[in-house]
A and B are shown apart, each in its own frame.
Chain A
Amino acid sequence: MERSIENIWKEGFESDDNIQIPVVQDLYRKKPKLIIERIKSSSRIDNISLVPMAVILAGVFIFMEKPVLGIYVGILILLLFLLNRRKLKQLEDLKLSANTYLYLTNYYSKIKGLQKYYTILLGIGLPVLILPGYYLYFRETLVLSTFDGMMLQYQILVVTILSIVLSAIGVLSYRISTHLIYSKLLTRLEEIIKDMEELMKAN
Chain B
Amino acid sequence: MSKDFYKQFILPYAGIIVKICRAYTDSEEDFQDYYQETCLQLWKSRNNFKGNSKWSTWVYRISLNVSLSLLRKDKKINKNSNELPEISGDLHSEENPFNSESLKLLYSAIKKLSEADRAIILLYLEENSYREIAEITGLSSNNIGVKITRIKKKLKELLDGKIY
Contacts and interface: CB of A to CB of B under 8 A. Distances in A.
Interface of A: 1-3, 5-6, 8-9, 11-13, 15, 17-22, 24, 27-31, 34, 195, 198-199, 201-203
Contact of B163 (A2, A27, A203): A2
Contacts of B106: 5, 8-9, 12
A30 B29 contact: yes
B2 A202 contact: yes
A177 B103 CA distance: 53
A17 B99 contact: yes
B164 A3 contact: yes
Contacts of A29: 29, 32-33
- Majority secondary structure, B binding face: helix
B36 A28 contact: yes
Interface of B: 1-3, 5-6, 10-11, 14-15, 18-19, 29-33, 35-37, 39-40, 43, 77, 97-100, 102-103, 106, 125, 152, 155-156, 159, 161, 163-164
Query: 8 shortest A-B CB distances, which residue pairs?
Result: A12-B103, A202-B6, A27-B36, A27-B32, A21-B14, A9-B125, A202-B1, A12-B100
B18 A21 contact: yes
A11 B19 CA distance: 14
A134 to B, nearest CB: 45
A139 B33 CA distance: 62
B10 to A, nearest CB: 8
A100 to B, nearest CB: 10
A203 B4 CA distance: 10
Nearest to A33: B29
21 contacts: A2-B164, A5-B106, A5-B156, A6-B125, A9-B125, A11-B100, A11-B102, A12-B100, A17-B99, A18-B98, A19-B14, A20-B18, A21-B15, A22-B36, A24-B36, A27-B36, A195-B40, A198-B40, A201-B2, A202-B1, A203-B6
